[in-house]
Structure 1
Amino acid sequence: MAYIGLVLTPLFWAGNAVLARATVEFIPPLSMSFWRWVIALVILLPVGLPGMWRHRRVIRDRFGSMLALATFSVAAFNSLLYYAAITTTATNIALINATIPIFVALLAWVLLGDRTRPIQALGIALAIAGILTVVARGDISVLTGLEAQPGDLIMVAAVFSWGLFSVLLRRQAVPLPALTFLTTQILLGTLVISPFYLADVLLFSGGFELTQDTAMPLLYFAIFPGILAYAFWNHGVHEIGPARAAIFMYLTPVFASILAGIFLRESLGVFHVIGGGLILAGLILATRTGRRQATY
């Protein structure tokens, strides 16, 4: 069951990128992020609230840490990903998203002083070269002329945010059961998003019309890449270890390219193949057993 869950998790994450790209014209990014987590919270609260009450002292004592973790993960990462979908492809989103272990390793080295072996440093360098290839679309003048797609750069910021979350999770580990931690994180993250969502609705986007075509994507965002992916990922890490579980993240861009080709008619360019190859090689080297892997 752990392996099945770890295969389904990148499939759900890939679906998140593809569906966001398909619906971002109808559902503004902040509305997408806010309502995704509101729906997830409504589903989780009946089973998660008793644990939050039992562990209320821990939550109160570690409230600052919990709020920071929720801000970088639930609030910032997902909102930035949905903003990226406005101006970049689902394939690019998934390729850049797959470099999360690289950013975790890099930030752990910078902020926590983790020792990085030369082979892993080479992996980080290759993955960064792959990101630049994807962002530049194979044309170096895109970088030198500062003409990169805004969505690609926003997605890099999203992955950086998740890397900060992962490093903070190690530095400020909160002793809570998984379900209690997840429910608390979603509650706090939703509260963080709320003022930005309201400002966006009142001053900029105007929100969206609730129809079957907009409700179904929000249900998908909440249930599959929201609740189930988090649950499957945490279970897989617990059962087989974070280093082996991280290998399954490599499937995300594979699934995304297939789904994007079928549903969005996105085609792979040479730069996708080259950049994806560099990212894959970098991930393999940087996540080799021997480095203490953070849990994402």
Structure 2
Amino acid sequence: MSKSTPLAYAGIVGATFFWGTNFNAGAYIIKSMAPISASIERFAISTLLLVLIFSLAGKLRLSTLKNNLLAFIGLGLLGFTAFSLATFFGLQTTTPINGALILATTPLWTMIFAVLLEGERIDRGRAIGLILGLLGVGLVITRGDIQVLLGLKVASGDAMILAGSMAWAANMVGTRRFVKDSTPLETTSFSMLFGVIGLIVLGFIYEDPLADIRNASLAIHGAVIYLAVFGSLIAYLLWFKGIHAIGAARTSIFFNLAPVFTMLVSSILGVLPNIWQLLGAAGVILGVVFASGMVFSPVQPKPIMSR
């Protein structure tokens, strides 16, 4: 294990923490602002900060953008536009419980794509970790009610959210597979740039972003800025760096920590977890332990060649 590996794991956990708090902040924002308009403001701020700060610092190379243009367009539309909008429009015709359970399949799709595109092996630890993680997320979301699981029905909304889950998984594997000679910072910045362009186009089709942003209160804008800086900019940088260091399949397991962090923040805000949520959190944490190779020796990810 290289010296950078523990830092990579810490960064991945940090990213999932910020994504977990996104649900808490997002629930507050959505009461006063249309979803796509809020997404446009969030990612526009993130993109602007990334491009301005790191362009001035000489960290973004136009040659990287040129050499990976098609890859960045695809990754941006998959990881930023399609994932968020598939989830949003899917939830219009399905329940939040259905959506959350379907999104929990993201690590499974990531492993499948990694096997198909990268030739990675699913070792014993990651297989156990995946099962424990999915079971844990199921307990957190369903509160141990088996009827919730038995009552799942395939609807148009479910299919859209499943498509979003697969889009995010494809984005993670595609970052490692198709992007050449690009730093995690460059990959995040350029992918986010095309993702926000996609959001803007769809936003003006389905909503009135300019009016929504103009009429939002300062408190709402403050919450959006939190999402832009911590829930987007910093989280995605940490996540892509984790993919670069330990591989897409192993990184994806940590995605299951997000609902656990959401639960913890809710507890701080006065909504205490029940026994099923606590058991689910334990399952998720154990899943991360197994998947990260702390119990069984992990299969080393294929190194990324630098040029």
What's the TM-score, normalizing by structure 1?
A: 0.75
Structure 2 counterpart of 1:15, from 12, 15, 21: 21
CA distance in 1, matches of 2:62, 2:80: 20
Structure 1 residue 291 and structure 2 residue 299: aligned?
yes
Question: Does residue 217 of structure 2 align to residue 211 of structure 1?
Answer: yes
- What are the residue-to-residue correspondences of 1:147-296 with 2, within 5 Å? 158-202=164-208, 207=212, 209-233=215-239, 241-242=245-246, 252-263=258-269, 265-288=270-293, 289-292=297-300
Q: Is the 8 A contact 1:5 1:236 kept in 2?
A: yes
Query: Is contact 1:246-1:287 (8 Å) kept?
Result: no
* Partner Cα distance (1:159, 1:102) in 2: 10
Q: For residue 272 of structure 1, give the secondary structure of its aligned residue in structure 2.
A: helix
CA distance in 1, matches of 2:71, 2:224: 28
Gaps of 5+ in 2: none
* CA 236–141 in structure 1, closer or farther in 2 if over 3 Å, else same: closer
Task: Name the structure 1 match of 2:49.
Answer: 43
Check 1:24–1:78 CA distance in 2 against 1; reply closer, same or farther (3 A cut): same
C-alpha distance 184-149 of structure 1, shift in aligned 2 (>3 A): same
Helix, strand or coil at the partner of 1:176 = coil
Following superposition of structure 1 onto structure 2, how do residues 65-76 of structure 1 map, counting pairs within 5 Å?
65-76=71-82
Shift of the 170–41 alpha-carbon distance from structure 1 to 2, 3 Å rule, reads closer
C-alpha distance in 1, partners of 2:262/2:83? 18
Matches within 5 A, 1:61-140: 61-79=67-85, 88=96, 101=107, 103-140=109-146
The answer to whether the Cα contact below 8 Å between 1:166 and 1:294 also exists between their aligned partners in 2 is no
* 1:167–1:294 contact (8 Å) kept in structure 2: no
Q: Deviations over 1:48-93 (max 9, x none)?
A: 446899743442342221111112222233445666888648xx96
Contact 1:128 1:279 (C-alpha < 8 Å) held by counterparts: yes
Residue 32, structure 1, aligned to residue 38, structure 2 = yes
Q: Residue 223 of structure 1: CA displacement?
A: 1.0
Q: 2:266 and 2:216 mapped to 1: Cα distance? A: 25
Amino acid at match of 1:64: L
Out of 151, 162, 167, the position equivalent to 1:145 is 151
Per-residue CA deviations over 1:31-60 (Å, capped at 9, x if unaligned) read 121111111122222234468997434423
- Tell me the alpha carbon deviations over residues 142-184 of structure 1, each in whole angstroms, 9 at most, x when there is no partner: 2333369999987765544322111111221231233333221
What secondary structure, in the 3-state scheme, does the structure 2 residue paired with 1:27 have? coil
Q: What is the deviation of 1:97? A: 7.2
Instruction: Please state how far the C-alpha of 1:111 moved relative to its aligned partner.
Output: 4.5
* CA–CA separation in structure 1 for the residues paired with 2:180 and 2:57: 14
* Stretch moving more, 114-123 or 221-230: 114-123
User: In 2 relative to 1, CA 62–294 (structure 1 residues): closer, same or farther, beyond 3 Å?
Assistant: same
| 8 Å contact from structure 2 (residues 137, 259) kept in 1 | no
Paired residues of 1:80 and 1:157 also in contact (CA < 8 A): yes
In structure 2, what is the Cα distance between the partners aligned to 1:148 and 1:276?
Answer: 27
1:171-224 C-alpha deviation (Å, 9 max, x unpaired) = 21231233333221121111111221111215x9x7452221221111111111
Q: Which structure 1 residue ranges, 5 or more long, are not aligned?
A: none
Shift of 1:269: 3.0
Answer yes or no: is the 8 Å Cα contact 2:254–2:288 preserved in 1.
no
Partners of 2:159 and 2:236 lie apart in 1 by 25
Q: Which amino acid aligns with 1:197?
A: G
Is the Cα contact below 8 Å between 1:99 and 1:283 reproduced in 2?
Answer: no
Tell me the amino acid that sits aligned with residue 284 of structure 1. Answer: V
- CA distance change for structure 1 residues 129 and 249 in 2, over 3 Å: closer, same or farther? closer
Q: Distance in 1 between matches of 2:37 and 2:91?
A: 13
Shift of 1:100: 5.5
